[in-house]
Chain A
Amino acid sequence: MAVDTLMMAALVLIYLAATLIIGYLGYKKTKNSEDYLVAGRCSHPVIIALSYGATFISTSAIIGFGGQAANLGMGLIWLTVLNIGVGILLAFVVFGKKTREIGQRLSAVTFPDLMCKIYKSPLMQYIAGFIIVISMPLYTAAILIGGARFIEPTLGIDYTTSLILFAVITAVYVVFGGLIAVMYTDAFQGTIMLIGMTVLLALTLVAVGGFTAGSTALTNMADLVPKALADQGMTGWTSMPALGSPIWFTVITTLVLGVGIGVLAQPQLVVRFMTAKDNKSLNRAILVGGPFILMMTGVAFTVGALSNVYFYQTSGKIAIDAAGGNVDAIMPLFINQAMPDIFVVIFMLTLLAAAMSTLSALYHAMGTALVCDLWGRGKECALSMKAHQAGIIIMMVISTILAFLMPISIIARATVMFMGLCACAFLPAFAVGVYAKAPSTKAALYSMVTGAVVWFLWTAFFHAAEAKPLGLCQALFGKVTLLGAPWTAVDPIVIALPISLVVMVALQVQAGNAQLAATAA
């Protein structure tokens, strides 16, 4: 790195000190368990929007998906369309307001608690809590590893110490300050992310001679698409892959639909709706949330794709070759080579902010799920702040151990896997729960379990990206996946979510008919 290490370390330390001070302010405002769990149900709209956006956008959205755009092209802009259309507009307008109203009326404090109270089913709370406690540490471990890899070279400390420091510093303000501290620091971190991505876009456009000149140059590079990608359907960086090709399935089903829809039923995001005082707050949050997400993913995908032009003009190589074949190395390499030193520092802080904001939300969601939804469900202790603090510490330790133990090939898929599982297991039951007049508990339970099981089966035995590193199919059947192309490229969400939805709707209709018959009799 060309940047002075001392300056970088000083700025990172200032950033961490500011984060801890803001976390302390959140701690001072936390007086009771409702403050700790749902930020007192009176968060400011801008805080809600920035917290939701910063939690939503992790380092992998900028580095991982930006790198994917460099590799696969501008087609990823369709993920931004879904991120805003589904992740903000649909989430806030259709689900957010209802979630807030019901959450407030039923005094729900976590996502599983909300589902339990809507469906009047403790079993629902146990299952939802169990899914969160089992799956969320994997996603958390991925965030921890990304943060530690950043801290290691920046502060010049070894990887193990970096990972433990990152885990503990973030946990400190979550444990003491609860959701108020998490949302305050999220807003601060979201502001840093916004500044970082705005500067990144401006400097990239300067580097490639403007958007039109850069896109034209990128279009003219279509014949440089690697043969392996061209054989699988890639047609260039400014055009969509060939319809129905393996690359098309990867871009559309895994990257666009998998992540774009997966965001709707993520427990740590749903809780943000329950922190709003009224629907006016959510309306105002939408005004900030949409442009924020555009500036995060839209910029990452555009810059990622245009980095090919920069690398080709300066080194005669496309981005993936310049990065030695490592998709995750493209964005950091581009920043280091194309940006002024001071921006390298700003961007590195942007990445740290993105990682910490997501990590803090996951700690809070996991800890409260462990205490409120599993261990202390229905008991008075489930609302004890001390119990939740212990729960957050336990889940932090488990996630940290996972980060050391899990193979990196699995961790790299964690974001997509977690979002897919949440959508398949929770989305149909959540959607019907907040809208149906008499939601069927049986339908929701069957839908949730079916969604989770089908998602797991497709992940372990059919979708090559996960089945290969998991190795379960290889161990049981002697082959990587049970079916060949194109099924190996079809994301689990495309299979499991419709099945979960059909189960939900069919049993909900059946329950409605039975109720009508009973009323008539």
Chain B
Amino acid sequence: MILGIPDPQILLGYGLAIGLALACIVYGWLRWNEAEGTHGR
């Protein structure tokens, strides 16, 4: 039992939810100035 949760599927869900939120931060950070497809008016 980790963090009081016995089911690995629930733990995996929490891990993925937090991991994906972190992935969003990393993605946005790394591509902060990526300017492909700039066609603003």
Contacts and interface: CB of A to CB of B under 8 A. Distances in A.
Interface of A: 40-42, 74-75, 77-78, 80-81, 84-85, 88-89, 93, 97, 100-101, 104-105, 211-219, 236, 238-240, 277-280, 283-291, 293-294, 298
A19 to B, nearest CB: 27
Given A41-B41, A294-B21, A211 B34 contact: no
Contacts of B38: 277-280
Contact of B41 (A40, A74, A217): A40
Nearest to B38: A278
Interface string B1-41: 10111110110011011101111110111011111111111
Secondary structure class of chain A's binding surface, majority of residues: helix
22 contacts: A41-B40, A75-B9, A75-B13, A80-B17, A81-B16, A84-B20, A88-B20, A89-B23, A93-B27, A215-B3, A238-B4, A239-B9, A240-B9, A278-B40, A280-B35, A280-B38, A283-B34, A286-B27, A289-B24, A290-B28, A294-B17, A294-B21
A40 B40 CA distance: 10
B20 to A, nearest CB: 4
A298 B17 contact: yes
Contact of A84 (B3, B21, B29): B21
Interface of B: 1, 3-7, 9-10, 13-14, 16-18, 20-25, 27-29, 31-41
Given A105-B39, A278-B35, A298-B17, A84 B24 contact: yes
Given A100-B37, A283-B27, A286-B24, A78 B13 contact: yes
B15 to A, nearest CB: 9
The 3 closest A-B pairs by CB, nearest first: A290-B24, A287-B28, A215-B4
B36 to A, nearest CB: 6
